[in-house]
Amino acid sequence: MVKIVFIGAGSTVFVRNVIGDCMCTPVLQDAEIALYDISPERLKDSEIILSALNQNINEGRAHISCYLGEAQRKAALKDATFVINAIQVGGYEPSTIIDFEIPKKYGLRQTIADTLGIGGIMRALRTIPVMDSFAHEIEEVCPDAWLLNYTNPMAMLTGYMLRYTDVKTVGLCHSVQVCSRELFEQLDMQDKLEGRKEVIAGINHMAWLLSIKDKNGVDLYPEIKKRAAAKNAAGKHENMVRFDYIKNFGYYCTESSEHNAEYNPFYIKSKYPELIEKFAIPLDEYPRRCIRQIKGWEEDKKNILANGKISHERSNEYASYIMEAIITSKPYALGGNVLNNGLIFNLPDEACVEVPCLVNGTGITPCRIGPLPPILAAMNMTNINTQLLTIEAARTKTREAIYHAAMLDPHTAAELSIDDIRALCDELIDAHGPYMAMYK
C-alpha cells in the first residue's frame, strides 16, 4: 500500500488540495494518509475535512490517521512512500510579524519576506534545523521515500536537504505550471495557449521563460515584449515589476511582481519612495494575506462542518502527478527544484536550481539546460549568494555567517549599512527566541 505522510497538515487549505488531488488519482485512492502537525486544533480540522472529502469523492477508500507532536512523528513517517512538507516554523504569529515589524524600525520594507530578503533568511534559519530533524527520522524509518518540499524559502530548504542529508528531495512551487498561461491572459494572447512550446529555467521564484513558441514554431517573444511595454505604459497593474524585467532584461520570470520587487535593489528604495507607487508594489502584503486566509478559513470551516458538502477536482499541483508517475512509470514532466550539478552551466554546482524534470518509475531526473543568458545568470547569482550563505549559517550555527548572508542580500544591502545589518540580525534572532536559540 502507498503511504503518504503530510508534515504540516495543519495547513488545512493546502492539505485539502494536495490530498484531495490524491483522492482523485486512481492509483492513490487506497493510500494510507498520515497527517502530522504540532497543533491539535489544526490537525483535528484537517482530519474532519479530509474524512468528509474521502467519503464524498473517494468512497472512503483512503485510510486516514493523525499524529501529533514530535513524539509521534517517527511513527507517522514509518514506511512512508512519499513525504509532503508544508510547515511554517513560528507561524504568522509571532514569527511573520517579527520578520516584518523589526526591519521597519531600520527603514527596511518588505512585501512577502518568505523567499529572500531578511525575512527569507530568518525563515530559513528557523526552518532548516526542524527539517534536519525530519531528515534523520526519514533516513531511519523510510529511507526510500521521496520528500516533496513545498515550504519556503524553497531554494534554501531544498538545497540544504540535498547537500547535507541523504533524503531524496525535490522542491515544488506553484508558479512554473501557470507562468505562460497567466502571461498570455494578461496580454490578451489566449489564442496562443494551445500547443505552445516553452522552456523555463533558473532558480525558484526567479526562473526565466527562456523561450516560448506557438504550435507552429513561431517565436512569441517579440509580440510579448511589445504588449508588455504597452501595458506598463498604459497605467498601473499588478505585474509591473515582471513586465519591467522584460523591458530591462529581455525575459519574463515565473513568480509574481510582489515577490520579485524585493529580490533586487531596484524597486523598494527609501531614497525613491515614488517607485512604490509607480510599480504598484504592495508593501506588507504577506501579513495582510495571512489575515485574510485565517479569516477565510474560519468561514469555510463553518460552512463545511454545517452541511458536510465538500468536493474536489484534481488541481495542477505537482504532488499527485509525481506520485502517480513514480508508482506507474507513466512519464510526467514538471519544473522542479534540484541541485544544479552542471545543469545550468553558468550557475554554481551547489546552487538549488529550478529546471525541467522528467518523472517515471526510476524517480525524478532533471534536464540539462546549458548556459543562461549572462544577465539572467547574474540576476540569479545575486539571490544564490544569499541562499548559499544562509545555508552555511544554518550548517555552522554562527551569527557571523548570518551577518554575511544579510550583507549580501540585494535589497537589505541597498538600504542599510553593515552596522545596521548586524544590529538588525541580532534583534531578529533575539526576538525569535527559542526558534533561533541555536545560533551563537
Kindly name the residue from 136, 174, 237, 411 that is annotated as catalytic: 174
Q: How far is CA 135 from the centre of its chain?
A: 19
Asked whether 252 and 179 are in contact (CB, 8 A), the reply is yes
Residue 205 annotated as binding site: yes
Q: How many angstroms separate the Cα of 195 from the Cα of each of 146, 221, 351?
A: 31, 16, 32
C-alpha neighbours within 13 Å on the C-beta side of residue 110: 29
Cα end-to-end distance, the chain, whole Å? 45
Q: How many angstroms separate the Cα of 154 from the Cα of each of 102, 159, 253, 354?
A: 23, 8, 16, 10
Asked whether 25 and 54 are in contact (CB, 8 A), the reply is no
Asked whether 67 and 36 are in contact (CB, 8 A), the reply is yes
Q: What distance in Å separates the CA atoms of residue 202 and residue 340, rounded to the nearest whole number?
A: 10
Residue 259 designated active-site: no
Residue 346 annotated as binding site: no
Residue 152 annotated as binding site: yes
Q: What distance in Å separates the CA atoms of residue 102 and residue 209, rounded to the nearest whole number?
A: 35
Q: What distance in Å separates the CA atoms of residue 25 and residue 232, rounded to the nearest whole number?
A: 42
Place of cell 520594507: 109
Active site residues: 174
Binding-site members for substrate are: 152
